[in-house]
Amino acid sequence: MRIAFFSTKPYDRIWFEPMAKDYGYEFNFLELPFSAQTMFLAKGYDAACIFVNDHVDADMVDWLHENGVKALLLRSAGFNHVDIKAAKGKVAVLRVPSYSPEAVAEFAMAMLLTVNRFTHKAYGRTREFNMNINGLMGTDLYHKVAGVIGTGKIGQAMIRIFHGFSMQVLAYDPYPNENLDVKYVSLEELLQKSDFISLHCPLMEQTRHIINKKSIERMKEGVYLVNTSRGGLVDTGALIEGLLAGKFGGVGLDVYEEEEGLFYEDCSDEIIRDENLARLTTFPNVLITSHMGFFTVEAMQAIAYETLENAYALEKGLPLKNLVE
């Protein structure tokens, strides 16, 4: 099987190159993102392998189908960047539904602890021998209320972590898992009662801007919010208004709704024209990272393995267990 691999980073090759040899597959590693301008590079290949910020619309799906590309191999669990309806019956869309839920949940907790206890600022101060701790006071997590929105595998891992800190955990999901040791409540109740809120739901029409002006108004004063899922879950404009009003104790964002073209790239020598992102970086209680919650050895290994297993199933005509329909 010949696979065009888009949005390649050096760490992708570390895992995919040796595995590709084991499967006997030919990879063409391309640093360019998959787009309407670059999709022609997939011509002559059996599949295109893409990442979270490679968007595929209906016209692009038609082009892939007409040019013999049988599949889109997603190196992600989320699939909101692909027009699934357009792809049905034309191009198989295969995802990696579970690579390391613990990786993302642990990173979410790291963000929460960092933005709450200011360890990043303390590190910066002590590097310059400034041992003053003024302005670095946090709050205990012990016996506080944590709200988890979305109780899939990552949300479940987050619940286990919160329980490990002896926190009371509330959860919201339109499809409750009765086997979980957690109290399900309405979204409104979760927003009103939680001291810390962590987002772990997929980005769909129903969840886009689930954190908006009204939902922020329902939250407690001094609430902490962490998003390691998808940027579109949060209305950035409403978030900035809430920050300006002093609503939040802290905010951790590993994702951003306009991250395409910025995240995963070195923009340090460029003028950032995204005013909302630039504004967010000015708040002392906001921590932003570049969509790296998944980034562990175990997760990268699992992503490579599952992606190649998806390709193998397609090639051999086996059941496509990770097909998005």
SS3 call for 275: helix
pLDDT bin (cut points 50, 70, 90) of residue 313 is very high
Query: pLDDT tens-digit profile of 237-257?
Result: 999 999 999 999 999 999 999
| Token pair listed for 181 | 């040791």
258 in catalytic set: no
CA-CA distance, 176 to 187, in Å (whole number)?
A: 12
pTM for this model (two decimals): 0.91
What are the beta bridge partners of residue 184? 171
| Token pair listed for 321 | 């267990």
The amino acid that residue 209 corresponds to is H
Place of tokens 């909302």: 276
Query: pLDDT tens-digit profile of 31-43?
Result: 999 999 999 999 9
CA-CA distance, 315 to 275, in Å (whole number)?
A: 46
Q: Which residues contact 27 (CB under 8 A, 6 or more apart)?
A: 3, 5, 16, 17, 20, 49
The fraction of the chain above a pLDDT of 70, given in percent, is 100
- The strand ranges marked E within 220-263 are 223-227, 248-253
State the pLDDT at residue 99: 83
Q: Which residues contact 215 (CB under 8 A, 6 or more apart)?
A: 187, 191
Residue ranges of domains in the chain: 2-99+296-316, 101-288
- The strand ranges marked E within the chain are 2-5, 26-29, 47-50, 71-74, 92-94, 145-149, 168-172, 183-184, 196-199, 223-227, 248-253, 286-288
CATH architecture of 2-99+296-316: 3-Layer(aba) Sandwich (3.40)
Same fold, 2-99+296-316 and 101-288: yes
Q: Which residues contact 177 (CB under 8 A, 6 or more apart)?
A: 151, 156
State the pLDDT at residue 100: 86
What are the beta bridge partners of residue 226? 198, 252
75 in catalytic set: no
Pick the CATH number of 101-288 from 3.30.70.360, 3.40.1280.10, 3.40.50.720, 1.10.3720.10: 3.40.50.720
For 223-236, what is the mean pLDDT?
Answer: 97
- Of 230, 241, 298, 325, which residue is the catalytic one? 230
CA-CA distance, 250 to 247, in Å (whole number)?
A: 9
SS3 call for 121: helix
Q: Which residues contact 199 (CB under 8 A, 6 or more apart)?
A: 149, 150, 210, 211, 225, 226, 227, 228, 229, 233, 234
Max mean pLDDT range (17-21, 52-56, 251-255): 251-255
User: For the chain, how far is it from start to end, CA to CA, in angstroms?
Assistant: 23
- The strand ranges marked E within 100-178 are 145-149, 168-172
Phi, psi of 212, deg, nearest 5: -135, -170
pLDDT bin (cut points 50, 70, 90) of residue 260 is confident
Other CB atoms within 10 Å distance of the CB of residue 299:
19
- Pick the closest to residue 252 from 153, 118, 141, 79 (CA basis): 118
- Of 259, 265, 273, 275, which residue is the catalytic one? 259
What's the 3-state SS for 277-298?
HHHHCCCCCEEECCCCCCCCHH
The fraction of the chain above a pLDDT of 90, given in percent, is 97
State the pLDDT at residue 98: 80
Query: pLDDT tens-digit profile of 267-285?
Result: 999 999 999 999 999 999 9
Query: Does residue 50 surpass a pLDDT of 90?
Result: yes
Query: pLDDT tens-digit profile of 61-70?
Result: 999 999 999 9
Q: Which residues contact 247 (CB under 8 A, 6 or more apart)?
A: 216, 219, 221, 222, 223
Q: Residue length, the chain?
A: 325
| Token pair listed for 219 | 């939250």
Q: Which residues contact 44 (CB under 8 A, 6 or more apart)?
A: 2, 67, 68
